Structure 1
Amino acid sequence: MIEGPYFVLALLAALGSGLMAGVFFAFSTSVMKTLAALPHPQGLAAMQKLNVLIINPLFIGVFIGTAGLCAVVAVVTFVLWPDKGTIELLVGCGLYLFGTLGVSVAANIPRNDAMAKLDPEAPESADQWREYVTEWTAWNHVRGGASLAACASLILALAA
């Protein structure tokens, strides 16, 4: 049974996963669509600025903090194995750590780094911008889905 500080850690991990799912959902359904609809110099320049400004204590605190919580919850879960809800906890933690953080590090961040080097005014950046929007958004769907599934799995564990 999940109780005490372990419950609080798992609850915070669930809330962080859900919050990140919302951030990714908002990006995929509105921010990226809006930027893609702009002429490429404006959309590209806006995304370059956004990628600088999103690196702030609040966003990083939730994004990386949730990963840290998931890592701690996973370790504690292995110690308490096979208590009720442990499978759901491990699934939820794994989804966040690999499907959210892992995808970000392997897919979205490298694309952000490459896009940051583009000149928004250069005509040749138009094709690279369109490719960036398509690929980045597809990977954002993956990490958004992983965050939402992690949240659901962690909630199921807490309800067990």
Structure 2
Amino acid sequence: MMDTFVTALLWFCAIGCAVIGGLFFAFSTFIMTALGQIDRPAGIAAMNAINVVILRSLFMPVFFGTTLAALALTVIGVMRWGDPGALAMAAGGVIYVLGMFVVTMAFNVPLNNELARTPSDEAWARYLKDWTLWNHVRTIAPIVSSALFICALIAAT
């Protein structure tokens, strides 16, 4: 049976991943399409405003907190490899950290910065295509991780 700390981390990550995945799902399924259908300057202005506001929102503690907790669960899962749910715990952490956090830092953030610096037609067209592609990855990773963390909770009970 899992200790209370690990159980709490799993619940936090399962919920945090679902929240993050849900936000990214909204961007992938309709927000980016809507921004792409309005006048280019308005779409760019809206996306740049979102990128500024999100940095000062409750999203950031959830974003970083879930990432740190998922990283911790990866280590705990590896350390407790033979325990029920350890594989799901470690896999959920790896998928989340790589598929959400690393993708965000390596692809989405640089694209956000480029759009803020160069709000041109060409930059916007590339941004809509590339940012949305990487956002699809960021959508799938936390949803899969949430399911794996739930599986780890079930396996350990």
Instruction: Tell me whether the two structures share a fold, i.e. TM-score over 0.5.
Output: yes
SS of residue in 2 equivalent to 1:82: coil
8 Å Cα contact 1:73-1:89 kept in structure 2: yes
**Which residue in the other structure is 1:122 paired with?**
none
Amino acid at match of 1:61: P
Mind listing any 5+ residue stretches in structure 1 that lack a counterpart? 120-124
For residue 23 of structure 1, what is the amino acid of its counterpart?
A: L
State the 1:45 CA deviation: 1.1
What's the secondary structure of 1:54's corresponding residue? helix
Deviation per residue, 1:71-127 (Å, 9 max, x gap): 1222222332210100000000001100000100111001001011024xxxxx112
The CA RMSD measured in Å over matched residues stands at 1.1
Q: Residue type of the partner of 1:65?
A: G
CA shift for structure 1 position 22: 0.1
CA distance in 2, matches of 1:60, 1:31: 20
- 1:137 and 2:151 equivalent? no
| Residue 54 (structure 1) aligns with | 54
Runs of 5+ consecutive residues of structure 2 not aligned to the other structure: none
- 1:39 is aligned with what amino acid? D
Equivalent pair of 1:85/1:158 in contact (CA under 8 Å) = yes
- TM superposition shift of 1:56: 2.0
> What is the CA distance between 1:57 and its match in structure 2?
4.2
Distance 1:96 1:65 in 2: 12
Partner of 1:126: 121
Paired-residue identity, %: 36
1:147 equivalent in alignment to 2:128:
no
How far apart, in 2, do the equivalents of 1:25 and 1:102 lie? 18
Q: Which moved more, 1:125-134 or 1:93-102?
A: 125-134
